[in-house]
């Protein structure tokens, strides 16, 4: 009931202006990062191949760099399907303190104000989270190939664990500090993983998946307060 109630409360606040602001910032920065990554990849191809290349039998060819460029575009488009949501989740996490504060302002107004996470601390946590998400999801691509029937379960379980860990820590750290958040997370690991898995399931649905970071942060803020209140 804790998870369902928390999600329902988060869903009811989706129209909050602070939620929308974080959503648009996350999507905009994610698209900019993907475009910049593709531009850098394209530059690397051109630097390695150049305008002309010499191949055995065929001799000098001038179309190889164009072929590789178009192939790289297709590759990046396919890869972005798998990576856009993890990247968006990581980047959006930089601004999720605003979401947590919006939740507490509406549902827990008696709580004292907290000091916002310093920008550089948030950036460091975002980079760490992004690295873990990308590496884990890239490694998971191998498991999808070898165990295709279990691909959805692997995807949901993996990202559920990572999202649950990140968003619960973010919500708890604001009130308990990093060590306190870690201890509370260890006591309720099963609940947090289950809630994270439920958050990960919409990651498979285009467009809806972009709302996951916002809903996740709001939901886990409620879950944190519910778990903290337990004896």
Question: Which residues is 55 bridged to in the sheet?
Answer: 59
Q: Is residue 61 within a helix (H) or strand (E), and if so which, with residue range?
A: strand 59-61
Rounded distance between C-alpha atoms, residue 211 and residue 23, angstroms: 7
> Would you say residue 64 lies in a domain?
no
The pTM of this model reads 0.74
> Would you say residue 77 lies in a domain?
no
**What per-residue confidence (pLDDT) applies to 55?**
41
Name the domain count of the chain: 1
**What per-residue confidence (pLDDT) applies to 210?**
73
> Would you say residue 54 lies in a domain?
no
**What per-residue confidence (pLDDT) applies to 63?**
45
> Would you say residue 123 lies in a domain?
yes
User: Domain residues for 15?
Assistant: 2-30+83-228
Which segments in the chain show pLDDT lower than 50?
A: 53-61, 63-64, 67
> Would you say residue 134 lies in a domain?
yes
**What per-residue confidence (pLDDT) applies to 208?**
73
**Structure-block tokens of residue 52:** 């002309």
Q: Which of 206, 226, 199, 204 is nearest to 93 (CA)?
A: 199
**What per-residue confidence (pLDDT) applies to 186?**
92
> Would you say residue 48 lies in a domain?
no
Rounded distance between C-alpha atoms, residue 185 and residue 190, angstroms: 9
**What per-residue confidence (pLDDT) applies to 66?**
52
> Would you say residue 50 lies in a domain?
no
**Rounded alpha-carbon distances, angstroms, from residue 71 to 45, 77, 104, 156, 190:** 11, 10, 48, 30, 43
> Would you say residue 46 lies in a domain?
no
**What per-residue confidence (pLDDT) applies to 73?**
58
């Amino acid at each position: 009931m804790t998870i369902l109630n928390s999600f329902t409360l988060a869903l009811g606040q989706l129209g909050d202006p602070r939620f929308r602001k974080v959503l648009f910032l996350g999507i905009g920065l994610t698209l900019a990062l993907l475009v910049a990554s593709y531009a850098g990849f394209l530059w690397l191809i051109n630097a390695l191949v150049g305008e002309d290349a010499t191949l055995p039998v065929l001799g000098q060819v001038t179309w190889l760099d164009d072929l590789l460029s178009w192939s790289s575009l297709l590759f990046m488009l396919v890869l972005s399907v798998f990576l856009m949501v993890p990247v968006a989740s990581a980047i959006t996490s930089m601004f999720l303190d605003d979401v947590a504060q919006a939740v507490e302002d509406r549902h827990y107004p008696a709580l004292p104000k907290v000091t916002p996470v310093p920008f550089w601390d948030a950036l460091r946590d975002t980079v760490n989270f992004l690295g873990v998400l990308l590496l884990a999801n890239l490694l998971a691509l191998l498991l999808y190939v070898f165990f295709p029937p279990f691909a959805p379960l692997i995807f949901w379980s993996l990202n559920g664990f990572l999202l649950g860990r990140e968003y619960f820590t973010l919500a708890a750290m604001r009130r308990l500090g990093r060590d306190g958040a870690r201890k509370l997370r260890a006591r309720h690991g099963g609940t947090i993983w289950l809630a994270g898995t439920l958050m990960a399931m919409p990651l498979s649905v285009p467009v809806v998946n972009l709302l996951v970071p916002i809903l996740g942060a709001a939901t886990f803020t409620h879950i944190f307060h519910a778990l903290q209140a337990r004896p």
